[in-house]
Amino acid sequence: MKIFTTSSRPAFARFLSICLCLCLMSGVTDAVAQTAPDASAAQAEEPVQKTAKIKRGSVTNFPIPRFVSLKATQANARRGPSLSHRIDWVFKLRGYPLEVIAEYGHWRRVRDYEDATGWVHYTLISGVRTVLVQRDTVDLLARPDPSSRVIARAEKGAVLRLLECDVEWCKASADGYKGWLKKTGLWGIQPDEILE
């Protein structure tokens, strides 16, 4: 990769000559150059930690992607963000967890646990958080401790309402039972997400 064109090299050479003369005039010697670098030079060499920028929805300004749940008992998933677009399928389980991946006006593009996507009207979804059990069975425990008492068992495909989550565990409820379960094997919560 070329940094300087042929025509810019003489100008750059003059620039270096001027810099060298200024350094010599200011008393910079080889002995000074061999001393330890100052703090600002050391800081410049340290890797800069970049904070991840959160993508926001153009309509709601909420994070994208984000998890929501189905508010209605039935919701049409359309090919595009309007009533004139074809219905690809119908969600029929109230509380079913969905992931919002795009926004357009009153429409939200959602994805389910099988990566199927479609557009639903915003009135059909809720901010209430739920998860879908993806393992054969999951134990709901009295405390966030693998050795604690089992309160109930949830089967694969069960939808649980999230109450709170830390880094490893979530407290959830279903059918009048409340308990703690590991995040692994659940769809509808990010691995590092914390809910209070």
What's the domain range around 104? 66-128
In this prediction, residue 50 carries a pLDDT of 53
Domain-located, residue 159: yes
CATH of the domain at 136: 2.30.30.40
In this prediction, residue 51 carries a pLDDT of 54
In this prediction, residue 1 carries a pLDDT of 27
Question: Predicted confidence band at 35 (pLDDT cuts at 50, 70, 90)?
Answer: very low
Boundary of a domain, candidates 108, 128, 148: 128
Domain-located, residue 44: no
Domain count, the chain: 2
Residues 176 and 159 in one domain: yes
- Residues 17-22 have a mean pLDDT of 41
Domain-located, residue 171: yes
46: pLDDT strictly greater than 60: no
Has this prediction a pTM greater than 0.85? no
19 vs 107, more confident: 107
Question: Predicted confidence band at 25 (pLDDT cuts at 50, 70, 90)?
Answer: very low
3-state SS, one letter per residue, for the chain:
CCCCCHHHHHHHHHHHHHHHHHHHHCCCCHHHHCCCCCHHHHHHHCCCCCCCCCCECCCCCCECCEEEEECCCCEEEECCCCCCCCEEEEECCCCCEEEEEEEECCEEEEECCCCCEEEEEHHHEECCCEEEECCCEEEEECCCCCCCCEEEEEECCCEEEEEEECCCEEEEEECCEEEEEECCCEECCCCCCCEC
Domain-located, residue 91: yes
Residues 145 and 119 in one domain: no
